[in-house]
């Protein structure tokens, strides 16, 4: 009760607007996004019918098994899952991570819940998708590492941000880039520099958004080539086909 009163008092003295809808925030527990925007965001609860490999939604309900889609043919990871759809509060969280290395407690909680719901408990190592040296210098941090660290705090699984590196500076993926262009922009862009630390590990690759899956697929390819036992993927959000 006292905590809620402090939050409301803070909001009254230092009013802020929701970064998503611009309404005044009544509480700061969701960081810079309001409850209404979180409630309007599609968070996956396991009832969706999805592709067994890449996790794309095939139907909104009536969950079925052994569903496959053509989009992930040739991808190198075992399974890719996400907290929810890239929209509203999750989109705001992803965009915010481009400039501020902080994940709200609500987003971090949903990330941990998605990890548990999707059966990733056997993971032995978390690997964030790396940025190129140039991009990391420009931004000052890697947003995938922020997500990985938040997940590690909840799972106590080690994060390895150094063994997988990005050896090519790829252009920022923009709306309008087709699947082939995205694939070519990250092909052969990743290299493992400490293979002994990955030998026999069950790796979870972590990133902010799954769009076509090209980036995480090439990360998985590099990790498997250097001895990882398995590679799965967890992202904060998933862009829906036709919206990228």
pLDDT of residue 3: 47
Count structural domains, the chain: 2
What's the confidence (pLDDT) of residue 58?
84
**Separation CA 113–CA 136 (nearest Å):** 29
Residue whose C-alpha is closest to residue 230's, from 190, 200, 195: 200
Residues 22 and 90 grouped into a single domain: no
- Assess if residue 215 is contained within a domain: yes
Do residue 22 and residue 55 come from a single domain?
no
In sequence order, what DSSP letters do the residues of 16-73 get, joined into one string? -B-TTT-PBPS-STTTTS-HHHHHTS-B--S-SEE-TTT--EEESSS--SS---GGGT
Domain assignment of residue 117, yes or no: yes
Do 168 and 222 lie in a common domain?
A: yes
- Report the CATH number at residue 219: 3.40.50
12 lies in a domain?
yes
Q: Residue 22 belongs to what domain range? A: 1-40
Averaged over 138-161, what is the pLDDT? 97
Q: Are residues 14 and 80 in the same domain?
A: no
Q: Note whether 154 and 206 are same-domain residues.
A: yes
pTM of the model: 0.88
Percentage of the chain surpassing pLDDT 70? Answer: 80
65 & 146 share domain? yes
Q: Is residue 156 part of a domain?
A: yes
State the average pLDDT for the chain.
86
Residue 26 has pLDDT above 50, yes or no: yes
At residue 164 the predicted structure's pLDDT band, cuts being 50, 70 and 90, is: very high
Nearest to 154 by CA among 201, 200, 103, 199: 103
Are residues 15 and 120 both part of a single domain? no
Please give the pLDDT value at position 8. Answer: 53
d(Cα 152, Cα 157) in Å, to the nearest integer? 5
Evaluate whether residue 243 is within a structural domain: no
Of the listed ranges 10-14, 56-60, 136-140, the least confidently predicted one is: 10-14
Q: Are 158 and 58 in the same domain? A: yes
Same domain, 169 and 220: yes
Q: Is residue 244 in some structural domain?
A: no
Q: CA nearest 149: which of 236, 19, 41? A: 236
Domain identity same for 160 and 204 = yes
For residues 59 and 34, state if they share a domain: no
Angle at 143 between CA 138 and CA 148, to 5 degrees: 145
Residues 33 and 60 in one domain: no
Judge whether 22 lies within some domain: yes
Supply the DSSP symbol for 195.
Answer: G
């Amino acid at each position: 009760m006292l905590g809620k009163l402090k939050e409301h008092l803070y909001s009254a003295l230092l009013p802020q607007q929701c970064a998503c809808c611009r309404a005044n925030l009544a509480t700061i527990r969701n960081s810079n996004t309001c409850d209404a925007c979180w409630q309007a965001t599609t968070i996956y609860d396991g009832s969706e019918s999805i592709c067994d490999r890449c996790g794309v939604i095939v139907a909104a309900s009536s969950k079925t098994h052994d569903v496959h889609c053509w989009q992930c043919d040739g991808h190198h990871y075992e399974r890719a899952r996400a907290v929810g759809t890239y929209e509203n509060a999750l989109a705001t969280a992803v965009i915010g991570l481009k400039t501020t290395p902080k994940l709200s407690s609500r987003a971090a909680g949903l990330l941990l819940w998605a990890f548990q719901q999707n059966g990733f408990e056997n993971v032995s190592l978390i690997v964030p998708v790396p940025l190129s040296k140039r991009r990391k210098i420009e931004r000052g941090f890697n947003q995938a590492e922020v997500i990985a660290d938040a997940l590690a705090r909840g799972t106590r699984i080690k994060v390895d941000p150094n063994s997988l590196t990005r050896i090519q500076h790829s252009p920022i993926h923009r709306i309008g880039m087709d699947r082939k262009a995205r694939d070519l922009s990250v092909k052969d862009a990743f290299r493992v520099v400490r293979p002994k630390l990955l030998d026999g590990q069950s790796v979870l690759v972590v990133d902010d958004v799954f769009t076509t899956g090209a980036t995480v697929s090439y990360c998985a390819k590099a990790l498997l080539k250097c001895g990882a036992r398995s590679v799965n993927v967890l992202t904060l959000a998933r862009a829906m086909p036709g919206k990228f």
